[in-house]
Amino acid sequence: MTKRNDAPSNPDRRKLITSAAAVLSVAALQTPTAEAKSKSGGTQTGSVDVIVVGAGLSGLTSARELVKKGKSVVVLEARDRVGGRTWTTAVGARRYDLGGQFVGPTQDRIRAMAKEFGLEIKPVFSDAKHIWELGDERVEFEGSVPALSLLQKLDLGHIINKMNALAKRVGPTTPWAVSDAAELDAITLAQWVKENSYKKSSRDFAKVMTRAVLGVDPDEISVLLWSYYVAQGDNIEMLIGGRGGAQDSVIEGGSQQLSLRMAKDLGAAVKLSQPVRRVMHDAAGVTVETDHGNWRGRYVVMAIPPAMNTAITFTPSLTGDRRDLETRAPMGRYAKVVITYEKPFWRELGYAGDVGSLRGPVVASYDDSSNEGPALLGFVGGDDERLWRKLSAPARKAAVLECFARWFGSEALKPLAYEEKDWTVDEWTFGGPTIALPPGVLSRYGAALRQPIGRIHWAGTEAAQRWTGYMDGAIRAGEQAAADLLTRLTK
C-alpha cells in the first residue's frame, strides 16, 4: 500500500498495525484450515520417498531440502502446531518466544534462513550493567569481565582456559574417539572443577553455567560431555556470552516464524496431530503408523529428541548402541518464563536485564523487549527447576517475580502479564534445551547419535556437528540428514 503524502506520520499507529498484521499471519499459519482438519481425522495412507517424524526446525529443514531436489515427503507431527522446541505465543496482549530464541554471530545456518525469509535479527539489549549473584555475593559490572577479586578472577580465568583447551582437544564431532574419552567420561564436571580450582566462586560459576546452558547441575554430566558441548559452540566465552556470544540476538517477531514459513511452503505434506506409534523397517523401506493411518516410504528421518524414540515401537526393535543411547539420554530440566511490563524500568536503573544467579530459582535472565513492548525473560534449570516445578502455579510465579524484584527493584512485582513454559513436563519433549548425557554414556554410545540404522536416519539438534542444543544446530542436522538421504536416493 502506498502512503498518502498528506497523511500525518504516526509511528505508534504504524507499529500497532504492523504488530496486528504479524499476529494475524502467524495465527493463520498455526490454525488448521478446514481441509487440513478434515485430513487429520479418519484413515490416511500414502507412499513417499521420505517420511519425516517431527515438524521442528530440523525435520522441516530436512523435508524442505528433499523437496527442493524433487523428492516426495510427508512430515508427521504429534503436536497441533509446528516448531518443536520453538514456540512464539501470547503473553498477555503481546507475543513472545517461550522456546528456543537466541542467535549467535557464528550461527550462519539460522542467519541464512532468517535472511531468506526476510526476517530481522535484532541484538539483545546489553549496553548497561550486568549482575552476577553467587550465593550471598552480588556483583555488578559493565563489559564482559565481572568485578571479582584478583584471586577470584585469576582462578576463574584458569578454569575457563583449561575448559577451552580441553574442548579444543575433544572437538565438536567425535568426542568418543579421543584417546582418553573413557577417562574424561568417567569424571563429573563438578569433580573436575573442584580438582582444578581453588575458589568457591569458580565452582559456583560452573553450577550457574550448566543450569543456564544445559538445565543440569555439574555433578550430573561428565567433563567429556561438557567439553564436547563447549567445542560445538567454539569456546566458553561464545557459549555463555551475551553481546558477541550465543545469546547475542533474536529474531524479531519470534523464532517460530522459521518453522511456520517452511510448513507453509511444504503445504499438505505437513500433518499435525499425528503422533507416531510404530516404525516398521526392512530392506525394502519403512512403514510408519500414526493414530490416523499408515505411511510408506523408502526412508524415514527421526527428527525428535532421542529419548522420545523410546515411546515408539520399532519393528524390528532397535538394538545395540542406539537402543542403549536412547534409554540413557535424559533431557535437561528446563523452564522459561516471560514477563511483560509497561516500560523497561531496569534500563532506567542502569541495568541491561541479564543476570546469572545461583540463588534461584531463576538462574539466568535477559532483556526480552521487542517491537511488541518491554519484557524480561528468565530460565529455571537444574535442581532449581525440579524444586520450582513442585510449587503451585501462583507460588511459581511469586518465586520468579521475587528474583526480578531482588535484582531490579519492587517495580518488577507489577507486570502486565506473566507466562511460563516448563519443557520438562512437555509430553513431546521431556525437557530442554537438549540431551544431558550422564557420565559413561557419550564415550560408549555417542557414535549412535548420527549413525543410520538401515533406512532410519536421525536429525534434531542432538545430531548436529556444530551448535547442538541451539536452533542453528537443528537446521544443520536437518540439512545433513537430507544430504545423506539424497546420496542414497540417487544411487
Q: Which residues are annotated as a binding site?
A: 58, 77-78, 276, 379, 462
Amino acid 261 reads R
What are the backbone angles phi and psi of residue 124, rounded to the nearest 5°? -75, 135
Distance CA 422, CA 3 (A): 44
Distance CA 111, CA 255 (A): 11
Residues marked as binding for FAD? 58, 77-78, 276, 462
Distance CA 175, CA 332 (A): 20
Pick left, alpha or beta for residue 401 (phi over 0 → left; psi -120 to 50 → alpha; otherwise beta).
alpha
Cell numbers for 182: 573413557
Distance CA 48, CA 26 (A): 29
Residues marked as binding for substrate? 379
Distance CA 340, CA 368 (A): 9
Amino acid 334 reads Y
Residues near 215 by beta carbon (within 8 Å), at least 6 away in sequence: 331, 332, 333, 334, 381, 382, 385, 424, 431, 432, 433, 436
